[in-house]
Structure 1
């Protein structure tokens, strides 16, 4: 079956699949402005650090493409300085949509560099805008290729690790993942879920396990949809059952994505990742982070410096889905409250930070990094 996609882009037409409606309804939402892109990112109609970065970059490309085609060019195309002021403001605004996802910052910095380099080269506003359009599209186009590279690196590293430990993987390996890191979270193929896909494609995967991190959390539902679409054998478990899973089933690895990786290897990812890492360490199960280079933030020394986004408290009280039983096959969704009304003191962070000491390997499109013997942190220089 064809893989799922999160973004469709053709010339200046830009659409995203509204992930709030998945897995029961697939509906594409047209994005016609930077403001609409910002809203889609902030309200989590699109999610996954690479996909967020792609949408932000593509929305800038769309904005400039339409400006270049306008019968009356907007004022910001009147001079290089006017264009710079406009684009700097636009990129700063987009960055505020999801502050933890460093890929978004990497994309905005990349476009800023393209802008500054073109101005320094003495190019006129229309030329500068055309270069920004091309660079914005490149941010999204390059994602699929690097995802396939890191998926292969991670999959082969795990298979070698299993062989070195003398474990029986004749029927394939079993891998647990947290949150969604597949085609819906990227521009295609995926990161940690890409690794699982690679193992499946090479017939080295026995089963994929994925956590339901909270009743309202959409990531696990999207993972379920992606694995079902790709016909990958899989099992969903509640995040409170990870310890039991490790006790009673042979799990060869935990593989997760990342929203930001600090210089020492501390990694921010969807809430519940740290829990899985602690339990994996207790059971001596390799814990692998699979993420693009753009996720590594060398300006952040360790996880204590990573900003953690907190979602509205109300989100922790709600769950959305279709009615059950549903004999008519209807896809209309309902939202219900699962806690007492007016509940106070709700703790609802979107992410937690897994310390580097609990991570076995960090994989990017450039390869695999492991810690030196006895070291708590990583040297990421070979893979960034």
Structure 2
């Protein structure tokens, strides 16, 4: 069965699957404006650092392409200078949608750089605009190939690391949040590694955590694994320690929203908990993410901005109405699961896992491990 798709581009339309309604309802919504793209990212209709970056880049690409086809041409296409003045605030605006996901910043900076380098003497504004639109599409197109490469790097490294410890039926791998095709432009990062092991006949089961109620990660992972027919087990994130005590788990594989220069990694809330428990039980902890996730300008995790979500979100859960007969209806509802008027709610979207708890960091360029006796990474070989 074909994997799910977070973004669709066909017949001149840009669409995303509304992840707030998954896994019970699959509904694609049009993204017609820059403002709609910003809102989709901010309200988490689309999520996953690579997918966010792809949508931002594509929204600008479609916006520019539509302007080039319009009659009469909009005012910002009258000169290279007017194009630059128009586009740069758009890129800044898109960047504000999700502050922790560094891929978004990498995409907007890349588009800004393309805009700057296109200002060659004599180049007309429409040529510059077309180059910018093409660059936006390229950012999204490159993601799938990167994911397949890093998944193979990470999968092969893990198989070699585990060696004879692997069970006859294959490896058991735990993951946190969603890092599959719904979080990327296709195939996935950490979930891509799991898919690679499954396709290679080396996977027994995928385990995935159910995190805070409003975070859709586990539900999306469940849907993706079900679609790909990968044997899997869902657990509550508070049950990870018990799982490690009673079952043989060969590795934990997670994605990342930002990796600092020393290897400290920000990922969905609950990742740090899993890393601490993995270290306690001697289980390899692997971060799988594209190079664009590595932020060499941030020395360590203390410099990573952590997005604080609205407190109310931690009190709400969305789901299909349960019939009481072991099934659910197609009707969905949002319910409050906490008492009214709580004094305080701590609701970060991400936590930071220190490099010392991470066994390996995988990008499309290879696998980085720490030198003997060191607690941080040298990422120069994989960026």
TM-score, scaled relative to structure 1:
0.98
Alignment partners' CA distance in 1, 2:76 and 2:291: 33
Secondary structure of the residue that 1:332 maps to in structure 2? strand
Do the aligned residues in 1 keep the contact of 2:321 with 2:328 (CA within 8 Å)? no
CA deviation after TM superposition for structure 1 residue 263, in Å: 0.4
Alignment partner of 1:351 is 2:360: no
Give 1:122 deviation, angstroms. 4.0
Match of 1:363 in 2: 362
Number of matched pairs: 382
- Cα deviation for residue 343 of structure 1 reads 1.1
For 1:41-60, list aligned pairs within 5 A: 41-60=41-60
Aligned to 1:220: 218
Tell me the equivalent position of 1:255: 253
Q: Residues of 2 paired with 1:261 and 1:121: CA distance?
A: 38
What is the distance in 2 between the residues matched to 1:155 and 1:224?
Answer: 20
Whole-Å separation in 2 of the counterparts to 1:379 and 1:122: 43
Alignment match of 1:276 (pick from 252, 274, 290)? 274
Contact 1:162/1:169 (8 A) holds in 2: no
Maintained 8 Å contact 1:271/1:352: yes
| Cα separation, 2, equivalents of 1:122 and 1:255 | 50
Distance 1:338 1:275 in 2: 23
Structure 1 31/377 Cα, relative in aligned 2: closer, same or farther at 3 Å? Answer: same
Distance change >3 Å, CA 194–CA 121, structure 1 → 2: farther
Mapping for residues 1-384 of structure 1, pairs under 5 Å:
1-10=1-10, 12-163=12-163, 166-325=164-323, 330-384=329-383
Q: Distance in 1 between matches of 2:166 and 2:368?
A: 25
Paired with 1:146 and 1:135, the residues of 2 have a C-alpha distance of: 17
For each residue in 1:29-76, what CA deviation from the matched residue of structure 2 results, as whole angstroms up to 9, or x when unmatched? 000000000000000000000000000000000100111011011111
Contact 1:12 1:65 in 2 (8 A): no
Q: Is the 8 A contact 1:260 1:296 kept in 2?
A: yes
Q: Do the aligned residues in 1 keep the contact of 2:323 with 2:329 (CA within 8 Å)?
A: no
| Structure 2 CA distance for aligned equivalents of residues 347 and 335 of structure 1 | 20
The structure-2 alpha-carbon separation of the partners of 1:181 and 1:168, relative to structure 1 and needing over 3 Å to count, comes to closer
Q: Shift in Å at residue 216 of structure 1?
A: 2.4
CA distance in 1, matches of 2:122, 2:292: 29
RMSD (Å), alpha carbons? 1.1
Question: What is the rounded CA distance, in whole Å, between the counterparts of 1:210 and 1:43 in structure 2?
Answer: 23
Q: Distance between the aligned counterparts of 2:95 and 2:8, measured in 1?
A: 21
Q: Matched residue of 2:329: which SS? A: coil
**In 1, Cα distance between equivalents of 2:136 and 2:10:** 13
Query: Helix, strand or coil for the counterpart of 1:119?
Result: coil
Post-superposition Cα deviations, 1:224-268, rounded to whole Å, max 9, x if no partner, equal 000000000000000000000000000000000000000000000
Q: Distance in 2 between matches of 1:141 and 1:331?
A: 34
Using the TM superposition, give the Cα deviation of residue 326 of structure 1 relative to its aligned residue in structure 2, in angstroms.
6.3
Q: 1:149 offset after TM fit, Å?
A: 0.3
